[in-house]
Amino acid sequence: MLQFDRSSETLPIMTDDEYAKFCAFFYRQTGIEYHDNKKYYVERRIVDRIAKTNSESFRDYFTMIRFQASGVEMQALVNLMTVNETYFFREDYQFDALVTGILPALVKGKRRGDPIRIWSIPCSSGEEPYSIAINILERWEQADSWDIEIHASDIDSRILAEARAGRFSARSVGRVSSALLSKYFTRKIADEYQICDALRGSIDFSLVNVIDPVQTRPFRNFDIIFCRNLLIYFDDVARRETVEMFYDCLAPAGYICLGHSESMSRMSSIFRPRKFKDVVVYQKPGPGEPLP
Amino acid sequence: MGLVKGPPPAAEAVPLAARDIDALLIDLVAPDSGVRRHAARDLGAHPDAAMALCDRLQAETSSSVRAVLLTSLIRRQSPAVAARLTTFLRSDDTPLRNAAIEALQEMPDAVAPYLQALLVDPDSDIRIFAVNIVATLRHRRAPEWLTVVIRSDAHVNVCAAAVDGLSEVGGPDALADLHALRHRFADNDFMEFAIDTAIRRIGQD
Amino acid sequence: MSRVEPFARNPNDGSKRVLVVDDGTTMRLFYRSVLEAAGFVVEEAANGVEGYEKALAQPFDLMIIDINMPKMDGYSMLRAIRADAAVRATPAVTISTEAGDKDVIKAFEAGANFYMVKPVATRELTEIACLITGARPQ
Ligand SMILES: C[S@@+](CC[C@H](N)C(=O)[O-])C[C@H]1O[C@@H](n2cnc3c(N)ncnc32)[C@H](O)[C@@H]1O
């Protein structure tokens, strides 16, 4: 169970109707869907924000997040509501496929001098884009022959600040070998590993809400998109919209890698499944290629 | 070479979302599939564009555009949209027909008013589709409608679909009709299997 | 399930793998029970995209594909497979409720090796699966 300092005596602060209205609003803004069984989770966080903002009631607070021009409070609430769980080398069979299959196949269609562009969305506290970088540098023998850009985005501004700072706990780096730890990290205090400046400086971090077309529109011509462990929080329509949006973010013949519990077959048929070793990823059709 | 920090992606001139419905409707029939895709997505925000999206769906040949049209129609679902989509069920164009099925399955409330008529359609494939929708409806009377089908429909595949539906939503009320159905389609392996499965599932609840 | 039993002692050694692709739950269960009783190993997929994905992930000796399915219909799935060098050669049977000449022609043009009309009988299904995969029928 969740542990909170406040007692639950202050609950409920919202009626079932208000909860439904709030969920509909939050869903429209973020794509994230909460069922009835999440009422406690949601309410605890709203109580926290009501106290911090000195709001009178749930209704007051709800008005504020809907109409505040700066959007500051909505961002604060989003930061509190998201699940940021992540760690280095998570689902690393996909990074295997990246360096042994996807990148070699990708560069066959590229000219020298073309950049390779990778987008990690959502990146949470940065473990995913840094893992991509380390895997490429360590394990792809052609890494030095290409310009590789890694862009990383998340809806949560607080977690992005952590990603930029690049300080990680022992738990987060638990799957990183000691050789790689000493090569790419410095140990500050007992439970803090600082990623090296070279890596920190090579990744472009940005605040992006994946379901907002205005925010995603600048993201074009990517060769590979990692979208892992986000769509599980979305409902069916938001999932469809998201992967269809990725279609326009990808260069022809570009690839999408989803998390292991996120099956493209339940969302869309516009990508072609491609197998690299034991990993299935999805590819946008190349120029002049018919769709599946 | 190696890792380089790319410039942050920057927005191009005018965000396309700002365009009005008339400009989008022109884009919806543009020769370039990327332009059509954008128009189809942005028109999902305009309630008045639903019928234009249906028109486009009927003519569209690019599957990536068709996918976006479906998503926008699911967002804009209404009985009028559902009524139009049901006419595509009769199409010879297999992808269009299945696109309509896919979208309609996502809008059970919008299609509900037409189900009674579809359930007695002369075309057995339309009846199969209607039965599949009824089975996914969270409607109090869904089990009753499915029971009427297995009591009266003469077509084996329609009844088989209804039995499949009853195995999901049926209750003890359906058992007598399920047993009776055995005699109507004796010697049919699949029907026998489907009836056994449904009876077993209902018994487990 | 008396009808399935005669095949339970089939000498088929369980090395032949069949992928069944159909959006109907009971339908997939039926294929599974008939084919497993005949000694096949069975995998299921609920639409054409999932079917294509599974066909890529592991080799199969036969695919049984329904035509009308959401997300990707049977013809589209079959055409995609026939165009993909990694899985192109897997034999396929399409199954549909439509029995017109047009439908049969469409199935063969998409790359089907055989065509069946619903409802499918147990014996017919087992015989065709054995014939196409070279498994020994009883
Ligand atoms: C569980 S983490 C996944 C991190 C990483 N991809 C991984 O697999 O380890 C989910 C992240 O999705 C972010 N997120 C949730 N909704 C989002 C949205 N609409 N747009 C962008 N990011 C979102 C959350 O802030 C959170 O950091």
Inter-chain contact A266–C50, Cβ cutoff 8 Å?
yes
CA–CA–CA angle C15, C18, C19 (5° rounding) = 145
Residue A120 alpha carbon, nearest atom of ligand 1: 6
Write out chain A's pLDDT in tens, 292 residues.
444 444 444 678 899 999 999 999 999 999 999 999 999 999 999 999 999 999 999 999 999 999 999 999 999 999 999 999 999 999 999 999 999 999 999 999 999 889 999 999 999 999 999 999 999 999 999 999 999 999 999 999 999 999 999 999 999 999 999 999 999 999 878 789 999 999 999 999 999 999 998 899 999 999 999 999 999 999 999 999 999 999 999 999 999 999 998 989 989 999 999 999 889 999 999 876 655 4
The answer to whether A262 and A250 are in contact (CB under 8 A) is no
Q: How far is CA B30 from the centre of its chain?
A: 27
- Digit-coded pLDDT (tens) for B93-107: 988 998 998 899 889
Which residues, including other chains, have CB under 8 Å from residue C11's CB and lie 6 or more apart? C39, C136, C138
- pLDDT of A159: 97
φ/ψ (deg, to 5) at A119: -125, 120
pLDDT of C41 over the 90 cut:
yes
Inter-chain contact A218–B11, Cβ cutoff 8 Å?
yes
| Nearest in space to A197 (alpha carbons), one of A156, A234, A160, A165 | A165
Q: How confident is the model at residue B15 (pLDDT cuts 50, 70, 90)?
A: low
Please state whether A217 falls in left (phi above 0), alpha (psi between -120 and 50) or beta: alpha
Q: Which residues of B touch C121 (CB under 8 A)?
A: 188-190
Q: Which of C26, C119, C122 sits opposite B197 (nearest CB)?
A: C26
Helix (H, G, I), strand (E, B) or coil at C78: helix
Q: Which domains does chain C have, with CATH numbers?
A: 15-133 (3.40.50.2300)
Subunit partners of chain B (3 or more CB pairs within 8 A): A, C
- Digit-coded pLDDT (tens) for A50-86: 999 999 999 999 999 999 999 999 999 999 999 999 9
Bridge pairing between strands C62-66 and A193-195:
unpaired
| Nearest in space to A39 (alpha carbons), one of A17, A61, A56, A54 | A17
A159 in contact with ligand 1, CB cutoff 6 A:
yes
A82 in contact with ligand 1, CB cutoff 6 A:
yes
CATH annotation of A6-81 = 1.10.155.10
How close is the Cα of A154 to the center of ligand 1, in Å?
Answer: 6
How close is the Cα of A85 to the center of ligand 1, in Å?
Answer: 9
- pLDDT of A187: 87
Q: Residue A135: closest CA among chain B residues belongs to which residue? A: B3
| Nearest in space to A211 (alpha carbons), one of B33, B76, B71 | B71
H or E stretch including C65? Answer: strand C62-66
What is the C-alpha separation between B66 and B64, in angstroms, rounded? 5
Handedness of CA C98, C103, C108, C109 (dihedral sign): negative
Neighbours of A54 (CB within 10 A): 8
Which residues, including other chains, have CB under 8 Å from residue A96's CB and lie 6 or more apart? A277, A279
Q: How confident is the model at residue C98 (pLDDT cuts 50, 70, 90)?
A: confident
What is the C-alpha separation between B197 and A189, in angstroms, rounded? 62
Q: Which residues of B touch C97 (CB under 8 A)?
A: 124-125, 128, 157
The answer to whether A185 and A195 are in contact (CB under 8 A) is yes
How close is the Cα of A123 to the center of ligand 1, in Å?
Answer: 6
- Per the DSSP assignment, residues forming a β-bridge with C76 are none
Among A266-270, B67-71, C95-99, the range scoring the smallest mean pLDDT is: C95-99
Helix (H, G, I), strand (E, B) or coil at C45: strand
pLDDT of C4 over the 80 cut:
no
Distance from CA of C49 to the nearest CA of A (A): 5
Q: How confident is the model at residue B139 (pLDDT cuts 50, 70, 90)?
A: confident
**DSSP single-letter state for residue C120:** P
pLDDT of C13 over the 80 cut:
no
- HEC profile for chain A? CCCCCCCHHHCCCCCHHHHHHHHHHHHHHHCECCCHHHHHHHHHHHHHHHHHCCCCCHHHHHHHHHHCCCCHHHHHHHHHHCCCCCCCCCCCHHHHHHHHHHHHHHHHCCCCCCCEEEEECCCCCCHHHHHHHHHHHHHCCCHHHCEEEEEEEECCHHHHHHHHHCEECCCCCCCCCHHHHHHHEEECCCCCEEECHHHHCCEEEEECCCCCHHHHCCCCCEEEEEECCCHHHECHHHHHHHHHHHHHHEEEEEEEEECCCCCHHHCCCCCEEEEECCEEEEECCCCCCCCC
What is the C-alpha separation between A102 and A111, in angstroms, rounded? 16
pLDDT of C10 over the 60 cut:
no
Report, as an integer, the average pLDDT of B143-160: 96
**DSSP single-letter state for residue C70:** S
**Average pLDDT over all residues of chain B:** 91
Inter-chain contact B37–A220, Cβ cutoff 8 Å?
no
* pTM to 2 decimal places: 0.90
Per domain, the residue ranges of chain A are: 6-81, 93-283
| Nearest in space to B119 (alpha carbons), one of B148, B95, B84, B96 | B148
Neighbours of B179 (CB within 10 A): 11
Handedness of CA A161, A165, A166, A171 (dihedral sign): negative
Handedness of CA B94, B97, B100, B104 (dihedral sign): negative
| Nearest in space to A116 (alpha carbons), one of A142, A88, A89 | A142
Q: How confident is the model at residue B17 (pLDDT cuts 50, 70, 90)?
A: low
A239 in contact with ligand 1, CB cutoff 6 A:
no
**Average pLDDT over all residues of chain C:** 88
Q: Residue A201: closest CA among chain B residues belongs to which residue? A: B5
The answer to whether A99 and A136 are in contact (CB under 8 A) is yes
pLDDT of B23 over the 70 cut:
yes
Residue A32 alpha carbon, nearest atom of ligand 1: 16
pLDDT of B45 over the 50 cut:
yes
- pLDDT of C101: 84
What is the C-alpha separation between B148 and B154, in angstroms, rounded? 12
Q: CATH number for A93-283: choose from 3.40.50.150, 3.50.50.60, 3.90.470.20, 3.40.50.1580.
A: 3.40.50.150
φ/ψ (deg, to 5) at B25: -65, -35
